[in-house]
Amino acid sequence: MFFRSLALAVLVFVTSLPVVNGQVFRGRGNNNTYRPPVQQQNPPQAQNPGNFQVQPVQPAQQIQGTQTSGTTSTPRVHWSQQILEGVSRDHDFGAVAKASNQVHIFEFENTLDTPLTITGARTSCGCTKVRVLTNEVKPGEKGQIEARYDTVAFAGARSATVSVGVSKRQPYSEYSELRFSVKGMIRTDVVFEPGTMDFGPVSRGNSVERSVIVKYAGRHDWQVESAVSSNPNMTVEIKETMRDRNRGRTDYQITLKLNGNAPNGRINDVLTVKTNDRSNDTLTLPISGSVESMITAADVNLGMIEKGKTHEKRLIVSGKEPFEILEIHSENSRLEFPSKMDGSKTLHIIVFKFDAAKEGLVSDDIVIRTNNETQPEIRVNFRAQVIAATIVGD
């Protein structure tokens, strides 16, 4: 019993001692102030026999790609997100008819200082097919990805994520992915025949018409209330061609007319059809095609030429069908054109003269008159910089 009491007293005494840095402090008397060892008060300094300047280690956030300014830090934008800034990455086809042609092209600009390679594209749903239109995208150029909505094999509400693989080589090789998304509602009660409004190539100045039949099966009182094209050079006409109330069948013919004022270039517009179906009252159909000049002639740029010489140059005028050139003239008297032209043909090569007797910049229009009703007049620009003749001597 005596030894048990002694052991208990020793245990109580030891546990009552203060502990500092994992070591039991053993003071004397009332002076219980802790004094750490000397090496802890003054840690040894690393030797630098070469007297090199020691650079401080960067903070972790800078190493991981963030920029610091004062007391705040701003994360750096990854290059794959940089090229998507301001880009529309979501497209809603809306309510579309069965078997209609639905295509959307996603675009992004290469804002980097190195070329990008589009390595491929895939979708999360078979309702959307993708195609890479530009494999190499140089700095300042645009990359294009085509997303085609499959309205034949699918129906109802469908959505898909489009993943596009891109890579760059400078300053080091790196791969990333760009994400886009599409969605829409494929209706089975409405069909467009044909499934697209394609004008094909149209000669500028000509008026062209295309029609599409809208077939509906469902309500006996279904109606097309309006149809509008996003192209200001198109007019739209609507005509009901059939209505069977017993079977709930209704057909409409929608005719689009492209007038002769449409400018040259691609036609990439949308026909929007409004119906009295309040649950889903809007249908869309893409409009495609291109407007091309019947007769074309390229501008003439001679660049820098020496003063004092008369230069002979060629002007090439071509057309899709044979045509005659009635006259060629310019307000600048230093340009001389032949007075007699050849007959009707698809390609005219005209040799003209330019008098370079005076120094300076010459920029004037060449006016070409033809017998073509859609293009009776064509204008091309002539440009030349006349400089002093080079003198070679001692």
pLDDT tens sequence across 240-264: 999 999 999 999 999 999 998 888 8
Going by C-alpha positions, the residue among 286, 234, 285 that lies closest to residue 256 is 234
Question: Who's near 143: CB < 8 A, 6+ residues apart?
Answer: 107, 108, 109, 110, 116, 118, 133, 134, 137, 166
Dihedrals phi, psi of 17, to nearest 5 degrees: -70, 145
CATH code of the domain in which 181 resides:
2.60.40.10
| Of 187, 207, 240, the domain-final residue | 187
Confidence of residue 41 (pLDDT cuts 50, 70, 90): very low
Measured CA to CA, the distance from residue 337 to residue 386 in angstroms comes to: 20
Total domain count, the chain: 3
Both tokens of 77, joined, read: 């934008």
CA of 25: how far to CAs of 11, 22, 33, 185, in Å?
A: 15, 9, 9, 79
pLDDT (0 to 100) of residue 29: 45
By DSSP bridging, strand 174-193 and strand 128-132 are unpaired
Q: Please, what is the Cα angle at 193 between 150 and 239, to 5 degrees? A: 135
- CA–CA distance, 163 with 122 (Å, rounded to integer): 5
Find the mean pLDDT for residues 370-388.
88
308 and 356, same domain (yes or no): yes
- Average pLDDT on 362-378 reads 89
| Domain identity same for 302 and 370 | yes
Helix/strand/coil percentages in the chain, nearest 5? 5, 55, 40
Query: Does a structural domain hold residue 220?
Result: yes
Position 38 in a domain = no
Hey, what amino acid is at 225?
E
Tell me the average pLDDT across 133-155: 92
Given this model, what pLDDT does residue 73 score?
55
Token pair listed for 16: 């009552």
Residue range 6-18, pLDDT digits in tens: 555 655 554 555 5
Based on the fold, state whether residues 86 and 155 are members of the same structural domain.
Answer: yes
Q: What is the DSSP string of 245-291?
A: TTTTEEEEEEEEEE-TTPPSEEEEEEEEEEES-TTS-EEEEEEEEEE
- pLDDT given at position 24: 42
Range of lowest pLDDT (8-17, 134-143, 192-201): 8-17
Residue 87, in any domain of the structure: yes
> Edge-to-edge strand order for the sheet containing 377-387?
300-306, 377-387, 360-370, 325-329
pLDDT (tens digit per residue) in 91-121: 999 888 888 889 999 999 999 999 999 999 9
Give the strand order in the sheet containing 102-109: 102-109, 142-149, 128-132
Task: Determine, yes or no, domain membership for 22.
Answer: no
Query: Same domain for 272 and 305?
Result: no
Q: Specify the long-range contacts of residues 232-235, CB closer than 8 Å, at least 24 apart.
A: 233/258, 233/259, 233/261, 233/262, 234/258, 234/259, 234/269, 234/287, 235/259
Distance CA 98, CA 151 (A): 5
Residue 253 confidence (pLDDT) = 96
Model confidence, pTM: 0.56
Q: Is residue 301 part of a domain?
A: yes
Q: What pLDDT shows up at residue 6?
A: 56
Predicted local confidence at residue 265, as pLDDT: 85
Is cis: bond before 75, omega within 30 of 0?
Answer: no
Same-domain check for residues 232 and 274: yes
Three-state SS for 391? Answer: coil
Confidence of residue 342 (pLDDT cuts 50, 70, 90): confident
Residue 225 belongs to a domain? yes
Instruction: Give tens-digit pLDDT for 200-239.
Output: 988 887 889 999 999 999 989 999 999 999 899 999 999 9
Mean pLDDT, residues 300-320: 88
* 308 and 252 inside one domain: no
Domain end call among 241, 257, 292:
292
Average pLDDT of the residues in 326-352: 90
Residues 91 and 159 in one domain: yes
CA proximity to 237, closest of 271, 282, 267, 203: 271
**More confident position, 352 or 43:** 352
Residue 43 pLDDT more than 60? no
Q: Could you tell me if 113 and 138 lie in one domain?
A: yes
What three-state secondary structure class fits 384? Answer: strand
Within a domain: residue 59?
Answer: no
- Please indicate, yes or no, if residue 37 is contained in any of the structural domains: no
Do 281 and 367 lie in one domain? The reply is: no
Structural domain range at position 178: 80-187
Give the per-residue pLDDT at 109: 92
Q: Output the pLDDT for position 167.
A: 93
**Domain boundary, last residue among 187, 214, 247:** 187
Mark whether 328 and 361 lie in a shared domain.
Answer: yes
236 and 251 both lie in a single domain:
yes
pLDDT at 8: 56
257 and 302 in a single domain? The answer is no
191: Cβ–Cβ under 8 A, 6 or more apart, which residues?
A: 97, 98, 99, 100, 214, 215
